Amino acid sequence: MKKAIYPGSFDPVTLGHLDIIRRSSKLVDHLIVGVLNNSGKSPLFSVDERVNMLKEVTSDLDNVEILSFSGLLVDFARKHEVQTIIRGLRAVTDFEYELAMSQTNRVAAPEVDTIFLNTSLKYAYLSSSIVKEMAMYGGDISKFVPKLIVDKVYDKYNTAGEISTLKGED
């Protein structure tokens, strides 16, 4: 059985992440989406919230499992007997960090390989940080995150009211 892990912070999951999850799920028999539980990062959403949001937006994908992990990614991979890590590459600016991370992981666990999927062009600019910045100031994030997630992000910033006011003016 071909298995892979798609790891990330997913704070929150974006349409770019979802695109990579959908495409990866077609390449392997079983895809684990690994949600990093890293206390050092002070995320907007708790790890349980991030896991639950990912479960909701992937509920139609039978071979996708959402799990959280803490500590090293390679330990998580070994625990689940997975030897393939999938990461999305948006632009050349991602490359240096991603290469260093994949090489570090390879030194730590030579049996684990990283493969990169290029992000679909329409999501090439997108990141969770951009989504949070937009939401914080009441911007429209409906083109950036799955429908089910939009209000959950606004709720964190109490900006949903501003959006409905703007919509009401149309």
**39 is known as an active-site residue:** no
Cβ(51)–Cβ(7) below 8 Å:
no
**128 is known as an active-site residue:** yes
Which one of 9, 24, 25, 128 is the catalytic residue?
Answer: 128
Cβ(131)–Cβ(10) below 8 Å:
no
Cβ(33)–Cβ(65) below 8 Å:
yes
9 vs 25, which CB is nearer to ligand PNS? Answer: 9
**22 is known as an active-site residue:** no
Q: Binding segment for ligand PNS among 1-9, 56-64, 136-144, 162-170 (CB under 6 A)?
A: 1-9
- Does 112 bind ligand PNS (CB under 6 A)? Our answer is no
Cβ(131)–Cβ(144) below 8 Å:
yes
Cβ(2)–Cβ(14) below 8 Å:
no
106 vs 138, which CB is nearer to ligand PNS? Answer: 106
DSSP assignment of 125-166 equals T--HHHHHHHHHTT---TTTS-HHHHHHHHHHHT-HHHHHHH
**26 is known as an active-site residue:** no
Give residues 24-83 in contact with ligand PNS (rule: CB under 6 A): 36, 72-73
Distance in angstroms (rounded) separating the CA atoms of residues 130 and 142 = 13
- Does 104 bind ligand PNS (CB under 6 A)? Our answer is yes
Among 5, 6, 7, 153, binds ligand PNS (CB under 6 A): 7
Q: How far is the CB of 109 from ligand PNS (least distance, A)?
A: 10
Cβ(46)–Cβ(38) below 8 Å:
no
Question: Residue 26, Cβ neighbours under 10 Å: how many?
Answer: 9
Among 8, 12, 43, 88, binds ligand PNS (CB under 6 A): 8
Among 105, 114, 119, 159, binds ligand PNS (CB under 6 A): 105
Binding site for ligand PNS (CB under 6 A): 7-9, 36, 72-73, 101, 104-105
Active site residues: 17, 41, 90, 128
